[in-house]
Amino acid sequence: MRMVKLVLLGALAVGGAAGARAAMGPDARACDGGSSAFLVNVRGLKAAQGVLRVQLYGENPGDFLKKGRKLRRIELPVRGTGAMPVCVAVPRAGTYAVAVRHDLDGNGKSGWSDGGGFSRNPRLSLIDLKPAHAKVAMAVGGGVRPIDVVLNYRRGLSIGPVRTARP
């Protein structure tokens, strides 16, 4: 809860209460407390442009990363290269997986320049861009669970975080 308060205080300093909530997305009120939610702290943005997409998947491994099977999607314009907090409300306490994508050019399609990451920050490679559900699933109780997601980008024949964003 301390991390949630620190993120909210930082956002308040920048843009007031309304700005703090808007900066965290449409589910921001869920991170005020009393609801089940993830406070996803996205780190390692390559550039201050494009769209950040955060998707929530349930506990069924067969649904993970499948088209039309997400429980929630939040899209926000990228506001800088620093950490970007996004609140994601969950239907109830349980086990969920979070997938994050930085659509660098904002065209809505996956491209070689785009970045991505997952809850629990599994190791990714060009031949293994989609981790197993079990490697990214996390439990959330009746409150707010802060998590860090470090984005990975293609660098030649490898993939990893930008040099300043190591986990």
> Where in the chain does DSSP place strands (E)?
37-43, 51-57, 72-77, 84-89, 94-103, 115-118, 138-140, 144-150, 153-155, 158-160
Domain count, the chain: 1
Classify residue 96: in a domain, yes or no. yes
Q: Is residue 165 part of a domain?
A: no
Q: For 21, how many CA atoms within 13 A lie in the half-sphere containing its CB?
A: 9
Q: What is the pTM of this model?
A: 0.85
Q: Is there a domain that residue 162 lies in?
A: no
Instruction: Tell me whether residue 161 is in a domain.
Output: no
Q: Is 59 part of a structural domain of the chain? A: yes
- Backbone angle region of 50, left / alpha / beta, with phi > 0 → left and psi within -120 to 50 → alpha: left
Q: Cα(31)–Cα(23) distance, rounded to whole angstroms?
A: 12
What is residue 34's predicted lDDT score, i.e. its pLDDT? Answer: 79
Q: For position 163, what pLDDT does the model report? A: 77
Is residue 34, in this structure, part of any structural domain at all? yes
Decide if 20 is inside a domain.
yes
Say if CB 32 and CB 78 are below 8 A apart: no
Q: Roughly how many angstroms between the first and final C-alpha of the chain, as a whole number?
A: 21
pLDDT of residue 56: 98
pLDDT < 70 stretches in the chain:
1-22, 164-167
Q: Is residue 88 part of a domain?
A: yes
**Residue-level pLDDT at 20:** 54
Q: Helices in 100-167 by DSSP H: which ranges?
A: 133-136
Domain that holds residue 148: 2-155
Rounded CA-CA distance 117/17 in Å is 28
